[in-house]
Each structure stands twice: as C-alpha cells, then as structure tokens.
Structure 1
Amino acid sequence: MPRHLCTTARSAAYTALLLALTVLLSLLAPMGTAQANPPAPPAATEDCPAFPLSAFGEAAPEGNTLTLPAEGTACYTFTVEKPGLHRLVKSGGNEVTITVHDGEEQVDCYDTDWGAGWCRLERTGAFTLRLTNSWDPSTVTFALTPLATDEGCTAQVPTDGNSAPFVARATAPTAVQCARLDAKPGERLTNTVTTTGYGQSTSWITDGTGARICPSRREDDNDGCVLPGNGPYRVLTQVTYAESGFPAEYTLKVRRISDPVGCTHVPLNTYNSAPTKVTPASGCKTFTAPRAGAYEVYGVDSSRTKLKVYDRAGKTVCSPWNGCELPAAGDYTVHTDDATLILDRASAAGCESAELGLYRSTFASAGEIDCVLLPLPAGARLAALAPLSGPAPRPDLTLFDARGAYVCGSDGLSDGTCALTGTAPFRLQASTDSADPATGPYPSRCTAPTPRAAARCSRPVTSPRRAHRPG
C-alpha cells in the first residue's frame, strides 16, 4: 500500500513537470523562429540618375548613351515642367525596351496609328524611365522631347508655290526639329521631307499640341491635309538615319495646294513641239483647260513623267497611274521643277497630215509627242509597224480618234487587228520614254490597211516640219 502511494506521487510529479516544460516550449518557440528567420531589411532605394529633357533641335544629352549587358536594366528620372505630349526617341539598341513610369504605374506611350514613343505626361513633377535589354549586350541612346511648346522653333516656313524649300540640318537621329508654318485653318497642305544624302526621315504637321493632326490614312484619293482646329501650326521633323552621318542636311517642302499662290502660268502645248520651260524656275505651275475631257500632263527632264493634277480646292483630279480626265474647264495646278508638256487630246493642234507609206521624222526635244493625221475613215483597219531593233530613239505608237479617245496601242497596230472606231480623222501619236538618246531621228514607221501592205511600204514620206517652237 505505501509503495503504491509513492508510485502515484512520483507519476503526478512527472506529469506536472511535463506540463510545465510544454508551456515553456510553447512560449519559447516564436522567439526561436524569429531568431532563425529575421525580417528582411527594407529594399535599398534605386540609384536612378536624373537626365534633362531635350529641346527642339537638340541631340540626346551625353549621359543618355549607355551599354546594357545581356538581360540588363537601367533607370533614370526626369522632371516635367509643362504637361502634354512628349516624343521618346531611341537610336541603336534594337533589343532594348524603354518604358516611362509615373510612380508605380506605367505610362502608355503607344499610339495606335503612329506606333511607339508618344508619351502623354499629364502632370508636372518627377517620372522614371526604365530600360530593359532582352538580348546580347547593346548600346542605346535615348532622348525625350516635349512637343507642346514652340520654344526652339525656327521662323515661319512659307507655303506659297514659288517659295524656296526650307533647308536645315538635323543634329542627331534623336533630335526633333520644329518649324512654324505660315498657314490658316481649312487650307490643304502637302508636306514632304528628303535628306540631301541617302537617309531616312519623317515629318508631321501639328498645332500647339505636337500631335499628328493629319489622318494616317486618306479616306479618299485626295492628297494633302486640310488643317483642322484654329492653329497656329507647325511642322516637326526627324532624320532617323543619315548614311554620311550627323549633322545631316534635309529639305522640307510644305505647299498649299488649295487656292495656290505664286505659281507660274504655263500654256497648253501642241503636238510636235518642245515642252515648256519657265524662267525664273518655279516648282508650281498652273494651266487653263478650255474644256472638260482627256488631257496628257507630264513633267519632262530627260524623259516624261506623268504628273498629279489638282483643282483650285486642292483636290486631286488626275493621278499618274490613271488617265487624266479633267472634270470641267478652268484652272488646274501641277507641282514640278521640270518642264511641262500638257496636251489636250481633243485638239489636233500641231499634228501633220501624211499619206500611207513610209514616214520619217525626228524627236527634236526630249519628251515631245509627235502626231500624224491619217487619211482613213471610221471602220477601216490599220497596221502601223516600227522596227523593234536599231538605233534609239525608237517610237511607241498609239492611235486616237478626233475626240482624243483611245483606239489602239502598239500590239493591235503591229498585228493589223486595229479597227478604226470613233470619229475621223484619226491621229497616230509617236513618243518615246528613252532617255539615251532622248532626241534624234527615229526609225521609219509605215501605215497601211493590212500588215502585208505595210511591210511592202517603200515610198518615203518625210515630215516637212523641222523647226520647233517652245510650247
């Protein structure tokens, strides 16, 4: 009995000791865990150096060129003083992505029409710019230019037809150039930029915002941009590549094609005559069409090039890839630095009459179009042959009726399948696109009712016309 009581007492003591140890361990456990896994210290602040924004015409700051290792990153900060559109431009670093952040939020710098690099920064203050390289080590230069300002813009660029083009130099591929425009709301303007040497460039018409205010896609076949809003207007330009390096010269030409001013009036030409040259030289020319109908409108240097034709409102009425049908009598405009050759296809002025047989003539001026009146009635069939080899220039032959309607080309004329439909007298036109040489006697051509008769032609019929008057 005493032994049993002693055993019971010892068991109770052990139980009490175990309970005490359990409570003690439960109190010590959190402290032990905290000692084994101490809280991480706050992340160190990123070292993002500040960079200045670029003004119009300025290259990227010196510190904005860096080499990123493979999968490397970098960050910078900048300060916006005037909210609005900013142009983010980079040079090199094809695998480098650049993003702009307002605090933790990434700024949308993508325009659905014009692509990346158009950042709307709508408040003043500090922003962060981050660069991420996704490939091999890469060197990149970047710049950020505020567009909603006219500080740094050059004097006004004229838009008159006879004004000299604006010539300037771009300092770097990251620079944005600015020029003010002498333009008013509602005017229709064209805008072209070319580098003096081989290169790549872009320009856009804008207002006070710096945004592209002209549509990216034309909804009709008309050239140019009808200026929206109230102005004032500017044109911004980038030369993104120059084979000869920077600074790179470029030429900017902005022309008002509605109600043009300063253009030189040129006459219509006649067949068998030289193209019209003007003095002093002018890149804008107007002509008067006596009637609606088919016309041929060319610029001529060493050979002919079809021109676009605009009406007084600046709308495109003729394009180079189509025939030119003017909708009404009146004044029209072309833009070219070259001589002009403008023919009314309903007129036979300058054409020479000839009998069937061998015919010889000469292109006395580059680009001229010769014309022969044929003594054949409507309903006849015609073959007109010209050698396919021999010395240049070699003429291309086309047949029109008295109203200027197309009848046959070289294929139908050479195989004798050309049926004379339309109104007599019919006109055979001879021309050449050859530029070497562009002038000189061309091989004889023969006209006859059938190919066999044409092949037997031997009686020469030489053109009496040799003197050329300016068109």
Structure 2
Amino acid sequence: MNFLSIGGTPRRKWGGRGGTLASGALLLTVLASLVGQTDVAQAAPARPAAASSPQAPAAAPGASPDAAASAGTPDEPLPPAPKVGAQPAPRTDPKAEHEAAARSVGQGALSAACPAALEPSTTVSCSVEPNQTVSFALTLPQQKDLVLLQVVAAQGWISSKLVAPDGATVTCENVLGAGYAYGVLRCATGQAGVYALQIHDNNGLQTAFSASYVPLLTSAACKAVTAADRKLGAPTVFHGSLPAGSAGDCYTLDLAAGDVLRGYASTYQVVQAVYDATGKELCNSQRDPGSGLDCALAGTAPFRVTVQQSSGAAQEYGFTAARLSRPEGCAVVEPQAFGVSPDVTGTVRCRVLRAPQAARYAFAPVGAATTPYGGLFSSDGTVLLATCGNGTCDLTPGDYVWVVEARNTEAGAFGMAFHSAKETRGCVPGNDNGLAAGPATGTFGGPGQQLCLTLPTASGNGLYLLNRPPAGGTSAGVVVQDASGAQQCDNNGASYAVCRLTGTAPFRAVLSGTASQAYQLVVHRTGEAAGCGAWPQSPFGGSWGAEVP
C-alpha cells in the first residue's frame, strides 16, 4: 500500500533547527554574563512515534486457502508485551518447537484406540502400530474447502496424506514453507463428501501421535469477532489455548473489503493469517510474528483470521482484531489553544485528530507517567509514517487517527497534545527588549501545554533567545513562527540561540517545557543596545576593559 502524502514536501520537525541559529563565542559569553545565565543542558529530542504499514493482499498460495477453526473466549487484558523501541521479539525456532511438541505427545497417555472419524477443530491423541496405517474419516459438506492439517508424532517418522472421496491424493502445502517435514498443512479440496486422513508408521515401534484438522471455509467452530469486539479504542481480548498437535483456532471478522484490520497476538510463538471467503490468503505475520498485523482486506467477505502454532507445540495466547480504518471508540481531539493542557485521563487506545484547516500540525501523546508509542493514520487506515513519523506533518482538513502501537499493551491513561502552526488563540503580548525590560516569566501547566508570546519585531530583524531558568525551574523550548505559521527558527531548548526573521510579521514565540515548572526567557532584538553594559577598550598589559558578575 502506498503511503498517503499530505500537504506536499515534508518539512523539518518542530524541534529541529529550521531557522538561522548562530552563536559567536564572544557574543555568547558577554550576553550570558549580562543576564546572569547559568548553563542549561539541551533537552533530548522527543522520540518519534512508530507505526506499521498495512500489508497489501498477498499472492494466493498453491492451494486455495481460506479460514476457520476453534477459538478462545473474551476475557481480561492481554499479558505484558514488548513496547516499541524495545529489543525485537526472539525469532521462532520451528525445529525446537516441533521437538517440544513431540515430547509433549510422548508424555501423554495415548493407549486409547484411535476413533474412526475426526471432528473439526478437535485434537485426537492415540497411537499407530509398527509399519501400520491408521485412517480417520473427515466429512466436508461443500465442494471447495481449505483443510488445515496438523500431525505430531512422539518419535521417529510417520507420514500422512489426505485422500479424496474419489481415491485421489489431495495436494497439500506446508505453511512453514517447502522442505519442512512437519508443521501445519494446507490442502485445497474440490469435492464434497468423506475424505480419509491416513497416518502411516514408518518405524519399527508403536508410535504415539496427535492429529487435528480445520475446514476453513465451512467450520462452525470459528469464533465471531463482532462490531463490539473490533472497536479500535478498546478491542476485546480473546484467549485461546492450542494443545500439542492443534491445527489452530479461527476467528470470523465482521469486516468488509476495503477495511484495514489490525490483529495482534500476545506471543510471537503463534502466527496470524488472514483469508477471504474463497480461501485466498491475504496477509500473515510469519515474517514478524512479534508485531501487530495490519492487513488491507480485499476479495470476498466473510474474512477469517487463523491463529496457529505452526510447528504443533502447545501454546496459550491472547488475540485482538480491530478495524484500523473508519475506527470506532476513539476520543476526538481538536487543536488546542495556547495555555490549554490536554486531558490525560482517557484510557482508549486511539485518538481522532480533527484538523479544521490546512496547516502544519504537531502531535504527541502525553501523560503523568509513561506515555505510549504509536502512529498516525488517515481515516482509511493508510499509515502516514512517510510524512508524519516525527510527530509533525502538513494535514489537509479532515480526521486522522493516532493509535497506540499494537505491542504496547500497557497504554494506560494518556492525553494527546495537538497544535496547529496557525494557532493564535491564547497568545499574549511579549517584548523584544528583554535585556532592558526583563525576561518573560511563567509556569507551565499540565503535560503537553504550549504558551505563546506575540512579538513586536519587524521582518528582517533578528532575535537573541536566552533561557534563564529560575532555581528548580526548566528551560523553555522556543519555536518562532511568522504570521502564516511558517517556522523561523527553533532553539531546541538550548540556553542561547540567535534567530533571523525572514517571514511576515507579526511573529510569535511558541514555548514548551516541563509541566509544573517555572521558566524565564529573555527575548532581545538584535541591534538593540538598551540593557547592554558599556565595554571600555582594554589597554595593553594585564588589565581588562570590563568586569561582569
């Protein structure tokens, strides 16, 4: 899927150096001395939000895939999972997982006789005699289906095949890929009727095994994900438990072609796969099972998601399936005026950012404790990482969706700071002769609050920006904008910066800083001598021309 480009060429981040910042060593020393400036370390830049791109429909596998299986039950929240920026989840080891499954089967009491038939989504454990074949009847009610098969033996080597009602062997493919002698098989069928799953013991010993199957297109065991379950703001968590030898669980989606699904499993040891009603696989998490699965749905509804332990090992998991496009359950956030603090009490996992006009916007999650990572999407589920990955972008009028990254399961309560570069509400008059009139002072309110000073400075001039935080206070990050909202410069929270004004007056200085801490900021026009001390010429010898405290 292509990234949606909004507002033309991406500009630099608010918090990057967008204007002319100059510092002469001598001028810095004198000015800092005159205002009694203590050196303040520059704050680290904010971490960019992360987002994942919806997968486009994948090519159909050799067999005609679709989906259905047994399912879990909705319950309490998912167990903790890695947050964005943490080390990636360990890669799966199919061989080790299969060996674990084989040990599990071998430890079971499998002396019972094998049944004559297998029921869909039911795992059977029994044994086959040396060099003998066990046959299970499987009844498929419709002509075309996609059968998922899993057989796990406790030891040695057994072979299995699916035989159609006319006696022909059905062609199957391994979901792990070609070359694997174990794992879930996908078998496209073309006849209705009774099939035979034949399991042959190639060892000289009795062999215990577990086996199961799921008819994806016709299974009644799929758990329905309803409209109430798939709300992006608070999706239902389904809990499942796959026994050793299970072919997997299945979930039927209340979604249509053109929707974007966000699926997430709480463990990297299961794989999600999305199918349409014809059995075509659209997306899967095989390449990155530790991350969420964003999938653009195409083809014919109903769509299904399978959750499988591909090597046959026993596995418990939590699973959510939400609609990323046209999201539901998200709080709406309007651009905030200066001096307003965002509400940080909301616990839903997404926010609808409503842009009333074309402008450059800054957005970021904020909160009293830790804040989650996430990404911005258009309302159709298209990720805006290309133009908005650093927390600022040009938006046209409309609604946009910021959503917590799927792996961040402990989002908790947080707010969303959302500011327009064209905002003027809440601006207060400021001066540009701070060395004479004194610094602008105040205290930042809640997290994410921004303050604004309207400056009298004419275009073509420059400004000295000098942070002079009081004891226990904070340095202010300052972005200077012109009347149109175009950024002139950014001090990055540094103690000293020089800003050249090339845009259209009136200019405004937008301030940000640490919540509940006081600031002092000197804004002084270049070329203005008021407030400057005299600097007599230094004579030759060991004396100097001026002393400053």
> TM tier, shorter chain?
0.5 to 0.7
| Residue 208 of structure 1: how far off its partner (Å) | 3.3
Give the 5 Å matches for 1:290-309. 290-302=356-368, 308-309=375-376
Contact 2:342–2:416 (8 Å) recurs in 1: yes
Once the two structures are superposed, the pairs formed by residues 423-438 of structure 1 within 5 Å of their partners are: 423-432=504-513
Q: Say whether 1:212 aligns with 2:278.
A: no
Q: Which has the higher helix share?
A: 1
User: Pairwise CA RMSD of aligned residues?
Assistant: 5.1
Q: Flag the 1:102–1:418 CA change in 2: closer, same or farther, 3 A.
A: same
1:407 correspondence with 2:488: yes
Q: Give the AA of the match of 2:358.
A: A
Give distance in 2, aligned partners of 1:168 and 1:230: 25
1:194–1:206 CA distance, 2 compared to 1 (3 A): same
Aligned 8 A contact 1:98 1:130 in 2 = yes
| Alpha-carbon distance in 1 for matches of 2:480, 2:198 | 70
1:182 corresponding residue in structure 2? 254
Partner Cα distance (2:389, 2:149) in 1:
38
Matched, 1:344 2:344: no
| SS of residue matched to 1:85 | strand
Shift of the 126–412 alpha-carbon distance from structure 1 to 2, 3 Å rule, reads same
Inter-partner Cα distance in structure 1 for 2:202 and 2:475: 61
Q: 1:237 aligns with which of 307, 322, 339?
A: 307
Structure 1 partner of 2:336:
269
Choose from 263, 268, 273 the match for 1:192. Answer: 263
Distance (whole Å) between structure 1 residues aligned to residue 212 and residue 474 of structure 2: 55
For structure 2, which runs of at least 5 residues remain unmatched after alignment? 1-112, 164-168, 287-292, 405-412, 534-549
| CA shift in 2, pair 1:216/1:199, >3 Å | closer
In 2, are the aligned partners of 1:384 and 1:448 still within 8 Å (CA)? yes
1:113-192 map, 5 Å:
117-122=184-189, 125-127=195-197, 144-158=213-227, 161=231, 164-172=234-242, 175=246, 176-186=248-258, 188-192=259-263
TM-score by length of 2: 0.54
Amino acid at match of 2:306: L
How far apart, in 1, do the equivalents of 2:383 and 2:397 lie? Answer: 15
Q: Is contact 2:160–2:197 with CA below 8 Å preserved after alignment?
A: yes
Q: Which has the higher contact order (CA 8 A, sep 6+)?
A: 2
Question: Which structure: greater strand fraction?
Answer: 1
C-alpha displacement of 1:275: 0.6
1 CA distance for matches of 2:487 and 2:133? 67
Q: How does 1:93-108 map to 2 (within 5 A)?
A: 101=161, 107-108=172-173
Question: Match for residue 13 of structure 1?
Answer: none
State the Cα distance separating 1:384 from its structure 2 match: 2.3
Tell me if the contact between 2:466 and 2:497 (Cα under 8 Å) persists in the aligned partners: no
Structure 1 residues 90 and 392, CA gap change in structure 2 (3 angstroms) = farther
SS in 2 for 1:236: strand
Q: Is the 8 A contact 2:233 2:328 kept in 1?
A: no
Residues 370 and 429 of structure 1 are in contact (CA less than 8 Å); yes or no, is this contact kept in structure 2?
A: yes
- Alpha-carbon distance change, 99 to 398 in structure 1, aligned in 2, over 3 angstroms: farther
Instruction: Rate the CA distance shift 1:84–1:129 in 2: closer, same or farther, 3 A.
Output: farther
- Distance (Å, rounded) in 2 between the aligned partners of 1:127 and 1:321: 51
Q: TM-score, normalised by structure 1?
A: 0.61
- Structure 2: distance between partners of 1:98 and 1:427: 76
- Distance change >3 Å, CA 364–CA 145, structure 1 → 2: same
Measured against aligned partners, the alpha-carbon deviations of 1:93-145 in whole angstroms (never above 9, x if no partner) come to 9x9999754689984325779x9745224366335568999xxxxx9987654
The Cα offsets for residues 53-111 of structure 1, whole Å up to 9 and x where unpaired, read as 6844x6x54459xxxxxxxx999765543364344569999x99997546899843257
Contact 1:167 1:249 in 2 (8 A): no
Instruction: Tell me the distance in 2 between the aligned counterparts of 1:127 and 1:98.
Output: 13
Q: 1:452 to 1:202 in 2, by over 3 A?
A: farther
Q: Tell me, yes or no, if the aligned pair for 2:271 and 2:285 is still in contact at 8 Å.
A: no
The answer to whether residue 424 in structure 2 is matched with residue 363 in structure 1 is no
Worse-superposed segment, 394-403 or 286-295: 394-403
Residue pair 2:470, 2:519 contacting (<8 A) in 1 also: no
What SS does structure 2 have at the residue aligned with 1:373? strand
Structure index of larger Rg? 1
Letter in 1 for 2:253: L
1:257 aligns with 2:358: no
Given the superposition, is the C-alpha separation of residues 143 and 419 from structure 1 closer, same or farther in structure 2, using an over 3 Å criterion?
Answer: farther
Partner SS state of residue 166, structure 1? coil
**Aligned equivalent of 1:69:** none
Please state how far the C-alpha of 1:301 moved relative to its aligned partner.
Answer: 2.5
**DSSP-derived class of the 1:204 partner:** strand
Shift of 1:289: 2.1
C-alpha distance in 2 between matches for 1:350 and 1:415: 26
- % same residue: 22
Q: How has the CA–CA distance of structure 1 residues 264 and 366 changed in structure 2, closer, same or farther, with 3 Å as cutoff?
A: closer
